[in-house]
Structure 1
Amino acid sequence: MTVHGFASPYSSYQGDLLNVAVIGRGFSGMMMAIALLKTIRQPFRLRLIDPMPTVSGGQALLTARSTEILNSRARDLSVSTGEPKDFTRWLQANAPFRQAVSAAIPGFGQIFVPKSTFSDYVFQRFSEALAERKDVSVQMSSEGVASVRVTESGLFEIAFEEGDTGRFHDVILATGFGRKRAESRLEALDTFAEGGADAEHVVVLGSGLRVVDQVLQLRDGGFRGRITIVSRRGFLPQPHTRLPADAVFPNHPMPSNLRQIVRFVREACAEAEENGWSWQATMNGLRKRARTLWSSLPPSEKRQFNRHLRSIYDAHRNRLPADVHARLERELATGQTELRRGTAIETVTSGLRVRWAGETEESLFAASEVIDCRCLAPDLCEPVIADLLKGGLAVTDELDLGLAVNPAGELLGSKNRPAGLFAIGPLGLGSLPDIDLVPEIVTQTYAAASLIDARSMPQLRAG
Structure 2
Amino acid sequence: MTVHGLSLPLEKGCDSRLKLAVIGRGFSGMMMAIALLRTLSQPFQLCLFDPKPTVSGGQALATKRSTEILNSRARDLSVSIGDPKDFTRWLQANAAFRDAVSAAIPGFGQIFVPKSTFSDYVYQRFSEALAQRTDVAVRMSNDDVTGLERLESGFLLRSEEGGTEHFDEVILATGYGISGPSNPGGFENRLPALPSESCQHIVVMGSGLRAVDQVMQLRDGGFAGRITLLSRRGFLPQPHTRLPADATFPTQPMPSSLREILRYVRQACAEAEENGWSWQAAMNGLRKRARALWSSLPPSEKRQFNRHLRAIYDAHRNRLPADVHARLERELSGGNTQLLKATAIMRVPGGLQLRRAGTSAPEVFAADEVIDCRCLAPNLDSPLMKRLLASGLAVPDELALGLSVNPAGELLDDHGRVQGLFAIGPLGLGSLPDIDLVPEIVNQTYAAAERLEHRTRPQRRAG
TM range (shorter): over 0.9
CA distance in 2: counterparts of 1:334 and 1:257, whole angstroms = 42
- Quote the residue 1:220 is aligned against: 220
Instruction: State the 1:198 CA deviation.
Output: 3.2
User: Which secondary structure state, in structure 2, belongs to the residue aligned with residue 159 of structure 1?
Assistant: strand
Matched-pair contact (CA < 8 Å) for 1:425–1:435: yes
- Quote the residue 2:253 is aligned against: 253
- Quote the residue 2:371 is aligned against: 371
Greater alpha carbon shift after TM alignment, 343-352 vs 415-424: 415-424
What is the correspondence of 1:313-462 to structure 2 with a 5 Å cutoff? 313-415=313-415, 419-462=419-462
| 2:26 equivalent to 1:26 | yes
Instruction: State the 1:207 CA deviation.
Output: 1.3
Greater alpha carbon shift after TM alignment, 63-72 vs 79-88: 63-72
Instruction: Give CA-to-partner distance per residue, 1:188-243, whole Å, 9 cap, x none.
Output: 534242x4343111101001101111111111111111111110000000000000
Instruction: State the 1:352 CA deviation.
Output: 1.0
Instruction: Give CA-to-partner distance per residue, 1:434-454, whole Å, 9 cap, x none.
Output: 100100000000000110111
Instruction: State the 1:412 CA deviation.
Output: 0.4
CA distance in 1: counterparts of 2:13 and 2:130, whole angstroms = 15
Counterpart residue identity of residue 222, structure 2: G
Instruction: State the 1:100 CA deviation.
Output: 1.1
Instruction: State the 1:338 CA deviation.
Output: 0.5
RMSD: 2.1
What is the correspondence of 1:166-245 to structure 2 with a 5 Å cutoff? 166-180=165-179, 189-193=190-194, 195-245=195-245
CA distance in 2: counterparts of 1:417 and 1:280, whole angstroms = 36
| 2:292 equivalent to 1:292 | yes
Unaligned runs of 5+ in 1: none
CA distance in 2: counterparts of 1:53 and 1:130, whole angstroms = 20
CA distance in 2: counterparts of 1:112 and 1:433, whole angstroms = 23
Instruction: Give CA-to-partner distance per residue, 1:47-74, whole Å, 9 cap, x none.
Output: 0000001124546534342121000000
Matched-pair contact (CA < 8 Å) for 1:24–1:49: yes
| 2:110 equivalent to 1:110 | yes
| 2:121 equivalent to 1:121 | yes
- Quote the residue 1:35 is aligned against: 35
Change (3 A) 1:205 1:187: closer
Instruction: State the 1:9 CA deviation.
Output: 6.4
Instruction: State the 1:417 CA deviation.
Output: 7.9
CA distance in 2: counterparts of 1:6 and 1:14, whole angstroms = 24
Instruction: Give CA-to-partner distance per residue, 1:74-106, whole Å, 9 cap, x none.
Output: 000000101100000000001111111111111
User: Which secondary structure state, in structure 2, belongs to the residue aligned with residue 191 of structure 1?
Assistant: coil
**TM-score, normalised with respect to structure 1:** 0.95
User: Which secondary structure state, in structure 1, belongs to the residue aligned with residue 265 of structure 2?
Assistant: helix
CA distance in 2: counterparts of 1:103 and 1:188, whole angstroms = 38
Change (3 A) 1:342 1:62: closer
User: Which secondary structure state, in structure 2, belongs to the residue aligned with residue 265 of structure 1?
Assistant: helix
Counterpart residue identity of residue 176, structure 1: G
Identity of aligned residues (%): 69
CA distance in 1: counterparts of 2:11 and 2:381, whole angstroms = 36
Matched-pair contact (CA < 8 Å) for 1:10–1:134: no
Matched-pair contact (CA < 8 Å) for 1:403–1:431: yes
CA distance in 1: counterparts of 2:8 and 2:216, whole angstroms = 43
Counterpart residue identity of residue 134, structure 1: T
Matched-pair contact (CA < 8 Å) for 1:204–1:229: yes
Matched-pair contact (CA < 8 Å) for 1:21–1:171: yes
Instruction: State the 1:7 CA deviation.
Output: 3.7
Instruction: State the 1:163 CA deviation.
Output: 1.7
- Quote the residue 1:279 is aligned against: 279
Change (3 A) 1:250 1:380: same
Matched-pair contact (CA < 8 Å) for 1:8–1:136: no
- Quote the residue 1:71 is aligned against: 71
Change (3 A) 1:426 1:64: farther
Matched-pair contact (CA < 8 Å) for 1:56–1:120: no
CA distance in 2: counterparts of 1:53 and 1:442, whole angstroms = 24
Instruction: State the 1:378 CA deviation.
Output: 1.1
CA distance in 2: counterparts of 1:186 and 1:53, whole angstroms = 25
Counterpart residue identity of residue 247, structure 1: A
Unaligned runs of 5+ in 2: none
Counterpart residue identity of residue 129, structure 2: A
CA distance in 1: counterparts of 2:393 and 2:119, whole angstroms = 33
Counterpart residue identity of residue 269, structure 2: C
Counterpart residue identity of residue 179, structure 1: I
- Quote the residue 1:156 is aligned against: 155
User: Which secondary structure state, in structure 1, belongs to the residue aligned with residue 199 of structure 2?
Assistant: coil
CA distance in 1: counterparts of 2:48 and 2:353, whole angstroms = 41
Instruction: State the 1:376 CA deviation.
Output: 2.0
**TM-score, normalised with respect to structure 2:** 0.95
| 2:164 equivalent to 1:165 | yes
Instruction: Give CA-to-partner distance per residue, 1:128-164, whole Å, 9 cap, x none.
Output: 000000000000000111200011x231110111121
